[in-house]
Each structure stands twice: as C-alpha cells, then as structure tokens.
Amino acid sequence: MSDVFVDFSDDSFENDVLKSDLPVLVDFWAEWCGPCKMLTPVIEEIAAEFNGKIKCGKVNVDNCPNTASSYGIRSIPSLLFFKNGKVEEQLVGAVPKQQIVDILNKLG
C-alpha cells in the first residue's frame, strides 16, 4: 500500500479519522470480498489524485469489528466519507470512480 493510502484499525480510528483536519474516505472491506478487491485499485488511484486534500484508507471488517459495527456496516464494500469527525456520505458496493470523486469534490 502507498503512503497516501493507509490501514485504519480499531485503535487508530479516532486519531486517524475522527480527529483528522482533512476529509477522510474510509473503505470498509474484507480479504474474501470480490467486489472489495475490484474497488481497491480505484480507491488507490483516488488516494493518489487527492493526496494532500483528503486522507484515504481501509478498515478490514474482520480485523476491526468494533469500528465496523459502530458505523452499522452490514454490506461491503462500504465507503464512508468523514468530515470534521462526522459521516457526511456513504456508498455501498463497487461504485464507479466518478461517483466517489464527485462526493470528495463536494466535501473538499
């Protein structure tokens, strides 16, 4: 993974996401999820394109059940868009890149 695309954990989530000065895109995923794996390169591209403007990372729902359950994640992939510690938008499924970019531009 690149330095613009990080793994968030139950322990780091508050500092890395909720207290971030930048908007944060969080990809809730799992190793066994086919659509999640399809979405990963798209999210990595977006992370590189928006480097410095947003923070971007993943939460593995199998490794971080507390964070996933606290946000009611029932389907993956789920993308949550945080700004000032609050969820502003949410997308579920392998959505087109432009749909994600549009939301990030609105949050910026």
Among candidate residues 17, 25, 33, 64, the one labeled active-site is 33
Tell me if residue 64 is catalytic: no
Give, in order, the Cα–Cα distances in Å from 18 to each of 26, 56, 93, 97: 11, 13, 23, 24
Among candidate residues 24, 26, 36, 61, the one labeled active-site is 36
DSSP-derived 3-state class of residue 28? strand
Q: Where are the beta strands (DSSP E) in 1-108?
A: 5-7, 24-29, 55-60, 78-83, 86-92
Active site residues: 33, 36
